[in-house]
Structure 1
Amino acid sequence: MPHPMEAYLRSQMQGKYNQPDAARQDALNLISHYKDLKPSIERFIFNDGSSKNLVCLKGTIPVVYKGTTYNIPVALWLQEAHPQVPPLCFVQPTSTMQVRQGKHVDSNGRIYLPYLTDWRPRSHNLVGCVQVMAAVFSEEPPVFAKPAPGRPPPPQAQPYPAQQRTPYPGQAFPPQGPPTTNYRAPTPYPTTTTQQPPYPSPTGTGYPPYSGYPQPNQMSVIPTAYPPQSQAGMQQSKDTKIEDSMIKASLLSAVNEKLKRRLKDTLAQAESETQALRKTESELKVGQEKIDGILKRLELEINDADANRIMLQQRNDELTSEIDKLQQKQDNLDVDDVVMATTPVYRQIVTSFAEEQALEDTIYYLSEALHKDVVDVDTFLKHVRALSRQQFMLRAVIQKARKSAGLANVY
C-alpha cells in the first residue's frame, strides 16, 4: 500500500529535484520510521541572499537522555541534488526552549555531524542521519528549557534536559562550527514565508503534549540532572559529610566522560584512516584497470607479431626458392640485355632515366662530402651547378619522350 505522503512528495519533487525518485524514497523511509516528522514545502534562504523552495521534513525525534525520553524538534531540508548531497539539518526550538550551543550545534541551531560531512549517496540516508543525530543528542542535548517568566531561576537550571555545570562551554570544549575543514559552508538559520506548524504546547494546541517537554505548572517534577536534595541531604551538606554513593556517582560520571572523549578521538582517528584506505583502494583499482588494459594490448600486439613472423617466413621461403630457380636456369645474366627496351623511344627513356638517377646520387654524395669537410663550398657549388643543369636537361628529354610514347608525366 503506498504511503499517504507519496503522492504529495511526487508532485512537489518532480521537475525540481535532480533525482526525484531516489529523494522521494529516502524521505518516505524517514517519515515511516519517525511518525512525528511531516514533509512540507518551505523557502530556504542561503548566505548569499538567494532562496529556494525545498522539501522540509519537520517535527520531533525521540532522544533518551539519562534514562528519560525527550522529543527534540528538528527540521531537515532536502537540497535539489539529494541524495547526492547531505541534507541541511537544524534544531528548531519552541517558545519554551532555547538552543544550547555545543560541539555539534551552533547558535543558530545548525547541526554539524561527521555523518553529514562524510556523506556518501550509496551508504548514507536520512534514517541513518537521524539515528546518529539522536545518539549525539543523547550525550549533549541541543536545547534546554527556559525558566518560567516572573519566577526566579532555581539554583540549578531546569533541564530540557537540564543545562548542567559541565566543562562546556570552556577551554576543554570550545564552541565550534563544522567539525572538519572540508565541511560545506554553513547556511543561515532557515526562515520561512509560511507559518510553521505549532510544536507541542502546554495548552494542548497543535501536536499533543509530549512527555519530554517541561510544563510551566510541572517545573518541580521535571527530572533534573542531579538527584533532588532532601532535608537529610541538606543537613549532611551542612555537616560537610558526603555519602559514599555520591562519591561513587561522581567518580563514575568523571570516568564516563573521559572514556567518551577517548572513544570519540579513537573513532575520529579510525574514520580518518578508513578514508585514507578507501582512497588508496580506489587508486589501486584504477591502476589495476590500467594494467589490465596494457596487458590486453600487449597480448594483441604479440598475436599480430606472431602472425607477421609466420607470413615473413613464408615469403622468405618463396623468395629463396625463386632465387634458386633463377640460378639454376642461368648463372650469367647480362643486366643490360635484360633491361633493354624494345623501341628507340623506350630505350631513350630508360637511358635518360638511368643517367638522371646517377646524377641524383652524385649530388647526394657531394652534399655528404660537404658535411664531412671533404670538399669546400666553392667546389661543391661548382659541381652541383653543372650536375643540376645536366639533370634538368635529362628530365626534359624524359618528359618529351614519355609524351611521344603516350605515357604519363612523372615530373
Structure 2
Amino acid sequence: MSSPETLTQKWLRQNIATYNDGSRVFADVDSTLSLYPTLRPKTDVYTYDDGRTQLLLCIHGLLPIDYRQASYHIPIAIWITRQYPREPPLAFVVPTSEMLVKPSKHVDVSGLCRMDYIGNWEKKYEGCDLQSLVQAMKRYFSNEPPVYSKPKPQSGPTGSSRPSQDAPSRPPPPVPHPSLNPPPPIASPLASPSPSRPTPPPKPQSTIPPVIPLTLPPSVHAPHFDSHSQYHRTPNPPPKPPLPPPLFSSPSLPLHSLDPTHLHNRASSFGATFQSQPAPSVWHGTPTIQPPEPIPSSPRRTLLPGQTHSSLSGAAFSPYHPPEHRPAAPDPQQQQQSITAPLDVNLLDQDDTTADDTPPLPVVQAAPPRPPNPELLQLHARAHEKLRAELASVSQAMSLDGERLRAQQADLLTGVPAIRDEMGRLEAVRDVCRGVASRLRQVIQTAERGVAELKRKGDPPVDELVCSTSIVHNQLVELVAEDSAIEDTMYHLHRALNAGRIDLDRFLRTTRVLAEEQFMKRALIERIQTSLPMGASVHPGWA
C-alpha cells in the first residue's frame, strides 16, 4: 500500500502543470529533495539573457560539501527549464552578503555553473537527471569551492580607540588616605575638553588644604596651591588662614603610570621650557591675587596619595581662573621670608618690576604636543616601504615602456621619407591609371553609340545578308541555291521510298519532275559561268 503524499509532493504536482514532461520533473525533483534535506522548491520568475521571462520551478538551498576534512554549505539555486529533461537545468551559485563568487572553469563570475556534466547533458539528455547533477556539483565544489569569505575592511587605529587599548596596561591609582574624602573620578582623555575651553573644577568641600611637601628653588617665590585641596575634610580651625586654592583646569593629556621618575622627567622637561620666561613677581600680601607663574621642576617633588599625574600637570601648566572669593592676608612671617629672599634676576637685562604698581599679565604656556601613536608610526613606515617598493617597480616598468616608445618613435621618424617616396610612386601610378581610364571611357562611349545605331536600324532580311555586286552574280547565287535545294529534296524522297512512306510510282513521277527542273538550272548556271571572266568563274560542287 502506497504512503500518502506529503505537502511538498502535493505542491510539486500543482506547480508542474506547465512543463512538457511533468512526471519526469516530479520524479527527479522528489528524489533530489529526499536525498538533500537542505534543499527546498519554489516557483519564481526567471529572466533569460535575451530578456525573456518565465515562471520556472527553482530548487534552492544549501549544498553540503567536504573540503579539507571540514564540512561547508554552498548556497545554490537550480532552475528547471520548461523543456526538461531535453534541456539541462540552469545551476547557479548564490553567494550571501558575506561571500563572493570565486570564478573558475566550472563557475563564472555571475555564479552560473558550466560543468562537464551539463555539457554532456546538452549532447545526450537520456542518461542525465537532476539528482546526478547535484551530485556532480557536490563533487566539483568539494575539490574547488566556488565561494570565499568577503574580506573585512581593516580600520586603522584612531585616537578614540587608543586609550581603551592602553587601559589594561595601566596600574590602578593609589588608594587615598582613609581620613580624606576620595577625589572625584578623573575624566578620560576622550571626555576631557580642549585647552581653549577648560572645564570648571568641582565645588570644594573644604576650605583648608592639606600640607604638600613641595620645595621651591630659591629663585622663585610664589604662593603654593594644590589642585586637590577641595576633597578633604574640614579640620579644626587653624590659627592662621591659609591661602585659597586656585582653580585650574587640566588639559587633555593622556593618563600615564604614577611613576615618580616619569613625573620627574616630565616636570624637568616642562621646567626647561619655562626657564626662558621672566621671573615672577614677589608676593606683597595685598588682597589682589596674581596668577601663578610656571614653577620649575625639582627632584624633591613628591606625590600625595590619590593625586595623579594629570592633576600635577594641570596645576603647574594650566591657565589661571580667578577664584570665587578673596583670600585672607598671608602670614607676615611668610611675607617677610618672601621679601628678604634673594631673587635670581639679572638687573642689567630686565627692568625692576617690584616698584611697578601694575601687575604683569599672566603668561600662558601652550601644552606640549601629544606624542605620536607608535602603531600609527609603524603603519606609516609599512606604507612608506610598500610605496617605495611599488614606486621602484613602477619606475622600472615605466623606463621599459619609455625605451619601447622611443624605439617606436625612431621607427616612425625614419618611416616618414619612405612613406613620402611611396606616396610619390602611387601618385604617378594614379595619374597613369586615370589616363587609361579616360581612353577606355571614350572607346566605351563610341561602342555604345554604334550599338544604339544598330538597334535603331533593326535586323536586316535574311535574303539581303548574302548578295553580290551585279545582277548576273545575284542570279548565279540564286540558281546555285535552287540546284542545291532540288538535290536535297531528291535525297529525302529516296529515304522515304526506302522507309516505305511513299510508293514507287509517286517517287518516280516526283523525281522526274525535279530532275528536269534541276537540269534546266544547271544548264543556266553553265551558261552564266562561260560568260563571266576567267578570274570570276565559279566551279560548283556538282561540276
Query: So what's the TM-score if we normalise by structure 2?
Result: 0.29
Q: Which has the higher contact order (CA 8 A, sep 6+)?
A: 1
| Greater fraction of residues in helix | 1
TM-score normalised by the chain length of structure 1? 0.38
